[in-house]
Structure 1
């Protein structure tokens, strides 16, 4: 039951923000919107206001914004196909942008609740490399191995860039005085990282939370680009991709450890959805953008029937991929 509720919450949040991006931008550029729907399948709630019907549908596995002239020809001056290319591209890309904004919000909330790590040492654990070298609580780390430090992530990165069994040099600010320490990090099998035995002070503020949200979203986006590169080069192993079943399983596992973990998964999925939707694949937002860019360079749109057929083929291929990864998920998690 908890897994189901958590999964519905995550899917609804991610989909709602995505579709709201399309919807609000379409309204801003003057496109007629017939329906703004969250979910798929039979309607369980609907209300009409102005020219738009707002609906919630039974299955929380999607959503859509039905715009005049988006998938068919229309002579209405307020139709999608009658608007300038720039406006149309903005409407299409707005869904992914809202997914990134959602990620920044949820990661910002997590950063505020948990506190953003600083470069000031909070505790030095007894009998660790840091303790033996002479580091003390209150020391502010400003340099590791001749690399300037401006975040806790930099500290972790530089410590873990060390060659095995090699010493590192850490420069700290103690009061107004700079002090240098040489120590040898110790490899921890549980975390798979090199550690020196310190914890960091955290900072809770609106500014640090926003910064944390932006940084985490950027970090995951970077990981997505790396994943896509590895996918193209064949470095991704079979079974690494996951579909809805894998997502629900992951959400269920996160739900066991509290709401903050559900929020984290929400942000992660939101970034993934935004990134994936912008790929230049037919039937996705990125595919639509690609066709509009082709139209821009050609000076005229492609034949709507040909474009529709290409999107249909892309949709079929995506469905086949979804069936495959769903089967793989079932075997992996429940087989």
Structure 2
């Protein structure tokens, strides 16, 4: 149940914000938006405000925006989608993926403001009562400088050094009030985490002010986007293994992360929002990126593709998306050992 609710929350948030981008841009350029729907399937509730109908559907997965003129035979009105300029249509289509990047920046900023980001160094923020660190005598403010005689300078080195010593006596050297002290303890195996060793210490987190959080949220979004693009390039050039998650894999990851807390779930939602924004920009028919290419091509030619060519392009898009879905699902099943 927790996995299902978490998936509905994350996927619903991402898709609703995506559709909200299309909705706001369409309103801005003067297109008649006939309906903004939350969810899919049979209608549960609907109300008309102004010229737009707002509805809630039975299945809380995704959403949609229905604009006048998206389908053939409805472009007579000056406010239809197909009667707008090339620039206006590009703005409306591109606003969906852009909104996913905006959502990611906001989610990252919220995390930086509420929970903070890990600080550099090895200073202990706190110790958990009853755990090996507290029993041995470690205190908040101690700076870890060595593990079993090996110097450590980063928190990652601390985690690595302790993780592999589950059940083994370990000497932790800290700097406290200008003096170095050494404590002996035995890291306990963490439940459900492959038996890695833990001692019950917390890392120092730095919180940012609201506006600074937004700045770092935007930077995190840009950094995440660049990382994904580089990784994608490496997979295309066969310099890295193809690692694509499909629906099964995403549901599994969301469920696992949901059990670790809301902050981690929001962080995953931010990462998935960047992925969704990028994926929708791929030049594949039926995706926003494919529509951007088609509209640009129509602008260069000075005329639309025509029903037959447009139908063929959409068919190619369906085949490509199904192929990607099958490949991703196959890899998900391989990971699960099915």
- TM-score normalised to structure 1 length: 0.74
1:16-66 CA-to-partner distances (Å, cap 9, x unmatched) read: 100010011101111011221222222233222333222222334432211
Whole-Å Cα distance in 2 between the matches of residues 52 and 76 of structure 1?
16
Whole-Å Cα distance in 2 between the matches of residues 49 and 6 of structure 1?
31
Which residue number in structure 2 is paired with residue 302 of structure 1? 305
Contact 1:70-1:81 within 8 A present in 2 as well: yes
Which residue number in structure 2 is paired with residue 226 of structure 1? 230
Whole-Å Cα distance in 1 between the matches of residues 117 and 212 of structure 2?
6
Instruction: Tell me the secondary structure at the aligned position of residue 47 of structure 2.
Output: strand
Matched, 1:210 2:200: no
Structure 1 pair 250–78 and aligned structure 2 pair: CA distance change class (3 A): same
Structure 1 pair 41–306 and aligned structure 2 pair: CA distance change class (3 A): same
Q: Residues 165-314 of structure 1: matches in 2 within 5 Å?
A: 202-238=206-242, 240-314=243-317
Instruction: Tell me the secondary structure at the aligned position of residue 279 of structure 1.
Output: coil
Contact 1:254-1:261 within 8 A present in 2 as well: yes
Whole-Å Cα distance in 2 between the matches of residues 262 and 119 of structure 1?
23
Whole-Å Cα distance in 2 between the matches of residues 292 and 228 of structure 1?
26
CA-based RMSD of the aligned residues comes to 2.9
Whole-Å Cα distance in 1 between the matches of residues 205 and 48 of structure 2?
52
Q: Residues 77-156 of structure 1: matches in 2 within 5 Å?
A: 77-116=78-117, 124-127=143-146
Structure 1 pair 30–235 and aligned structure 2 pair: CA distance change class (3 A): same
Structure 1 pair 201–20 and aligned structure 2 pair: CA distance change class (3 A): closer
Aligned length: 274
Which residue number in structure 1 is paired with residue 45 of structure 2? 45
Contact 2:115-2:205 within 8 A present in 1 as well: no
Whole-Å Cα distance in 2 between the matches of residues 115 and 82 of structure 1?
48
Instruction: Tell me the secondary structure at the aligned position of residue 77 of structure 1.
Output: coil
1:270 Cα offset (Å): 0.6
Matched, 1:8 2:8: yes
Structure 1 pair 236–54 and aligned structure 2 pair: CA distance change class (3 A): farther
Instruction: Tell me the secondary structure at the aligned position of residue 146 of structure 2.
Output: coil
1:225-256 CA-to-partner distances (Å, cap 9, x unmatched) read: 11221232234435x21111111111100011
Contact 2:122-2:145 within 8 A present in 1 as well: no
Structure 1 pair 211–98 and aligned structure 2 pair: CA distance change class (3 A): same
Whole-Å Cα distance in 1 between the matches of residues 275 and 71 of structure 2?
26
Matched, 1:75 2:79: no
Unaligned runs of 5+ in 1: 136-151, 157-189, 191-198
Contact 1:11-1:60 within 8 A present in 2 as well: no
